[in-house]
């Protein structure tokens, strides 16, 4: 840097040189280590703190969708109050075209300081011209535990419409508040809960300690996960404490897919090894490495550095190495007979089902929905969710629990 500063043909920006050097060094290690510069550090922290300044929309886009699309609006959020609806395509943010941008890039445009405004150009079905909607950002408390369907007051119903004996929880990430949110969800259906589904599909991870605590909610003792650093030395071994949130006799099914990674694999691997849950879906991503966030620049920036691999109780390695083949052992695989693969069309149909379940006006709670109950459903006093067939993986999880509970 000193030589460049003295000899380069033009006066260089030393801060840019420093950031480029840090990024180059750390990026060369593995895909999960990285340099977090000053401008990115607060947004990075906000993900796991589960609060940030924003609009309150959940979006999806390329490559899974052709264009940037609103999947859901958080109840009573700025976007909800401004009239933004699920299915809206975001064409522009403050005049900048973004319809074909990746979700990560577009999300940065939507977030910002509380009180600041963003003008969205929206394409909406059945509207002849694009709409311009001004939304003022506010503090958004991110939900990390969702339920079967959202009620009119914005809260979630965790008892399944298909069978109220089964509680359904969908974990979006493992953040600071996830454990308490999951405890509250289970407490809300404690009396009726005879079976539990924990949906970890598309959950790419988060805090290892949150994963540990969630496993501890369902285990009385024994190993949860261990981490091993260089030379295969054990750094940490986490074990369960006495006491559980639900009785040990309550069966649990965990849903995973190819996007379930890191902390999701900690939970699925532990619960599978300890024979506490059935695993349904598709083989997980295979990210079994632990990253520590090390502060730099007086705490204004940070380095995310891989320092260990984690191992579930059986001691198997979850991490997929760069040269791993499909036939090699890595990730978490569903139980025998519980593998349910979805092609792209089925995957999108399942996503769309959940989007509608998050909207009270589409899930039947905001308006009457005529559902013809079978005689069997009437006898069991069950409502029979007609949309369940649109999500074969969830349907399989429900089938497994129903068999265990008995009809």
* DSSP, residue by residue, 214-231: HHHTS-SSSEEEEEE-GG
Q: Does residue 273 carry a catalytic annotation?
A: yes
Catalytic hit among 260, 262, 264, 278: 262
Contact 310, 208 (CB under 8 A): yes
Contact 145, 173 (CB under 8 A): no
Residue 155 is given by DSSP the state: -
Residue 263 CA: distances (Å) to CA of 125, 130, 211, 242, 312: 38, 41, 6, 22, 11
What's the CA gap between 352 and 86, in Å, rounded? Answer: 10
Contacts of 339 (CB under 8 A, 6+ apart): 280, 281, 282, 283, 333
Peptide bond into 84 cis (omega under 30): no
Pairing verdict, β 117-123 and 131-136: antiparallel
Catalytic hit among 177, 194, 287, 396: 287
What's the CA gap between 351 and 62, in Å, rounded? Answer: 14
CB atoms near residue 225 (< 10 Å): 26
Contact 234, 311 (CB under 8 A): no
Q: Does residue 287 carry a catalytic annotation?
A: yes
Contact 205, 174 (CB under 8 A): yes
What's the CA gap between 87 and 312, in Å, rounded? Answer: 40
* DSSP, residue by residue, 197-217: EEE-TT---B-HHHHHHHHHT
Residue 153 is given by DSSP the state: T
Catalytic hit among 202, 273, 359, 385: 273
The neighbouring-strand residues paired with 253 are 197, 278
What's the CA gap between 355 and 65, in Å, rounded? Answer: 14
Residue 34 CA: distances (Å) to CA of 5, 288, 350, 382: 25, 17, 33, 50
The neighbouring-strand residues paired with 97 are 92
SS (H, E, C) 46-100: HHHHCEEEECCEEEECCCCCCCCEEEEECCCCHHHHHCCCCCCEEEEECCEECCC
DSSP, collapsed to helix, strand or coil, labels residue 167 as strand
Catalytic annotation, residues: 262, 273, 287
């Amino acid at each position: 840097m000193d030589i460049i500063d003295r000899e380069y043909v033009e006066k260089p920006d030393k801060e840019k040189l420093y950031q480029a050097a840090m990024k180059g060094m750390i990026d060369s290690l593995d895909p999960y280590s990285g340099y977090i510069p000053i401008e990115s550090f607060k947004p990075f922290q906000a993900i796991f703190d589960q609060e940030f300044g924003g609009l309150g929309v959940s979006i999806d886009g390329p490559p899974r969708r052709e264009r940037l699309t609103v999947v859901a609006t958080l109840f009573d959020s700025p976007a909800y109050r401004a009239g933004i609806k699920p299915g809206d395509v975001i064409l522009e943010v403050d005049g900048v075209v973004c319809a074909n941008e990746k979700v990560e890039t577009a999300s940065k445009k939507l977030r910002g300081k509380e009180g600041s405004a963003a003008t969205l150009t929206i394409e909406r079905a059945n509207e002849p011209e694009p709409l311009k909607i001004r939304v003022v950002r506010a503090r958004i408390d991110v939900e990390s535990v969702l339920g079967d369907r959202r009620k009119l007051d914005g809260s979630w119903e965790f008892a399944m419409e298909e069978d109220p004996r089964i509680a359904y929880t969908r974990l979006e990430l493992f953040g600071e508040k996830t454990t308490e949110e999951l405890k509250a969800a289970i407490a809300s259906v404690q009396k009726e809960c005879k079976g539990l589904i924990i949906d970890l599909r598309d959950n790419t991870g988060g805090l290892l300690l949150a994963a540990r605590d969630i496993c501890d909610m369902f285990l009385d003792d024994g190993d949860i996960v261990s981490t091993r650093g260089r030379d295969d030395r054990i750094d940490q071994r986490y074990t369960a404490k006495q006491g559980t949130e639900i009785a040990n006799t309550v069966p649990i099914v965990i849903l995973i897919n190819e996007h379930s990674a890191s902390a999701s694999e900690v939970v699925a691997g532990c619960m599978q090894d300890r024979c506490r849950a059935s695993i349904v879906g598709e083989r997980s991503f295979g990210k079994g490495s632990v990253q520590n966030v090390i502060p730099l620049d007086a705490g204004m920036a940070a380095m995310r550095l891989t320092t260990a691999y984690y191992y579930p109780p059986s001691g198997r390695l979850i991490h997929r190495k760069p040269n791993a083949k499909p036939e090699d052992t890595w990730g978490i695989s569903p139980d025998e007979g519980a593998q349910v693969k979805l092609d792209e069309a089925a995957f999108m149909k399942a996503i769309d089902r959940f989007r509608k379940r998050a909207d009270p006006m589409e899930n039947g709670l905001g308006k009457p929905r005529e559902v013809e109950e079978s005689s069997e459903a009437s006898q069991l006093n069950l409502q029979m969710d007609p949309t369940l067939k649109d999500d074969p993986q969830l349907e399989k999880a429900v089938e497994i629990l129903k068999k265990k509970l008995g009809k």
